[in-house]
Amino acid sequence: MRSRSAKPPVPMISRISLYVIAVALIAAHFLRVGNMVAVALCLAAPLLFLVRRRWSLLILQWLAYMAAAIWLATAWQIVDMRLAFGEPWLRAALILIAVAGVSMLAGGLLRSYSLQLRYRD
């Protein structure tokens, strides 16, 4: 029997779904700037879940962390531009930081013990 203080584990479908959401967000970012190659690569990335090897899981994690870095760099650029023009910047920064957090969470959730067991060499 499970104790009341123990948290239930996050189901695998939730982990993968959050990752797909994070991928869709970064693909939309690349679509907005017109980088169709990056859009295609982002949308193809979740197919690596079908490869049951440790390296595929590591690549997926790395991609999620890189997406977070891209979001933070974009937030920095937007804040810098808006400050230069004297426009409000806080809401844009908070939104982009939250999206970066979603990407970080998506990558972090791929480090679970159940996924590590499933994706071992």
Give domain limits for the chain: 12-118
Average pLDDT over residues 36-59: 96
Higher pLDDT, 43 or 5: 43
Q: Where are the alpha helices (DSSP H) in the chain?
A: 12-33, 36-44, 54-84, 90-109, 113-118
Number of neighbours of residue 106 by Cβ within 10 angstroms: 26
Using the predicted structure, report yes or no on whether residue 38 has a pLDDT greater than 70.
yes
Number of neighbours of residue 65 by Cβ within 10 angstroms: 16
Tell me how far apart the terminal alpha carbons of the chain are, to the nearest angstrom. Answer: 32
pLDDT digits (tens, 9 = 90+) for 17-34: 999 999 999 999 999 999
Provide the pLDDT for residue 121.
74
Angle at 52 between CA 50 and CA 57, to 5 degrees: 90
Exposure of 71 by Cβ count < 10 A (0-12 exposed, 13-18 middle, 19+ buried)? buried
- Using 50, 70 and 90 to split pLDDT, how confident is the model at 42? very high
Q: How far apart are the C-alpha atoms of 100 and 45, rounded to whole Å?
A: 18
Q: How far apart are the C-alpha atoms of 64 and 76, rounded to whole Å?
A: 19
